[in-house]
A = this chain, B = another copy of it.
């Protein structure tokens, strides 16, 4: 098990779907940072379910209780623990699933890995619900970043073949806010309507769809990240692949760069207002693992929700037979739109962690001068 991450800002996530609570410990937050709990709650609201026909009817409050680390609305330097109680834990339908792993889920691999001891009711520690503590942690990181002029925004860029407009070369905070304010996180609302149609169609057919999320971070200084294994790509990917259902991550032009010529993919340098910028951003704001100062951009592939109501083929673990499985209950026909803030949260955590890296040149001669 390793549900922890981070080099300077250390996050440890705990909880399973049907335990008493889920939560997160964040160790390494700078002290004295004001955290606006209403802003945080508005952020968490974006990933919550039950809003409309696109999501399930279940209702989770997911309101975090801060057990430590916050004092009078500010980080106090000590590890912050946020807990979210699990309210509704009825698990009547679980007996069948226990022996019949759901295709596309971690049921089978968890059974193998922990020899049947894992508490997999409701998906256990693999439940999408575990993205709630990730969003609590990420929402806090976002506030700390925004105070320093660093903004992160994401939108759903593809669902079922329907595509949203890509972010512009230099997206502005207002664009991020506008997308975040919409019930369906896209730029082009007509494209969004077509995407929602695809989701509804899938639901009517007892099926599900996936999607692609584009994310950008602006305001980052040039020079963050390190070569090889601690590059910005490595550290973002290491957190992003921690979001359930993520199956691909690409930066800048990503896989499309494979079809470009070097002369097309190389971003020309120019001076602009005394700063060096590039006139395009195929690099996604990262060269050699290090930020250029241009927006850091990446795309994340979300697989279709594996829980579908259609009959599927699976096995009985106990009896060694094959059987047909129909998953009961209501399930999201798509989670990609709800994953948009989760991607922002993951990015905020990785980027704040990078910002806390030691300086690459010089060193604070006297740490205290800076502190007081």
Contacts and interface: CB of A to CB of B under 8 A. Distances in A.
Contacts of A233: 241, 246-247
Nearest to A71: B119
A161 to B, nearest CB: 6
Interface residues of A, number: 169
Given A228-B2, A258-B301, A19 B68 contact: yes
Given A16-B68, A250-B248, A270 B313 contact: yes
A322 interface: yes
A289 B267 CA distance: 35
A292 interface: yes
Contacts of A8: 358
Contact of A250 (B247, B290, B358): B247
A315 B78 contact: no
Nearest to A104: B266
How many copies of this chain does the complex contain?
A: 4
Contacts of A20: 65-68
Nearest to A252: B247
A168 interface: no
Interface string A256-268: 0111111111111
Interface in A288-328: 288-293, 299, 301-308, 310, 312-315, 317, 320-322
Contact of A15 (B81, B101, B159, B254): B81
Contacts of A202: 261-262
Nearest to A366: B221
Contacts of A197: none
A166 to B, nearest CB: 14
A98 interface: no
A335 to B, nearest CB: 11
A88 interface: no
Contacts of A101: 269
Interface string A235-257: 00111011010111111111101
A32 B117 contact: yes
Given A15-B67, A229-B242, A238-B234, A257 B263 contact: no
Contacts of A209: 260-262
A4 B10 contact: yes
18 contacts: A14-B79, A19-B67, A28-B358, A31-B360, A74-B117, A77-B114, A103-B267, A108-B287, A113-B290, A114-B361, A115-B361, A126-B288, A229-B241, A247-B252, A247-B253, A257-B303, A276-B315, A357-B358
Given A12-B27, A126-B227, 11 more contacts: A1-B29, A1-B78, A14-B80, A32-B115, A67-B83, A78-B118, A102-B266, A112-B371, A148-B366, A247-B254, A264-B304
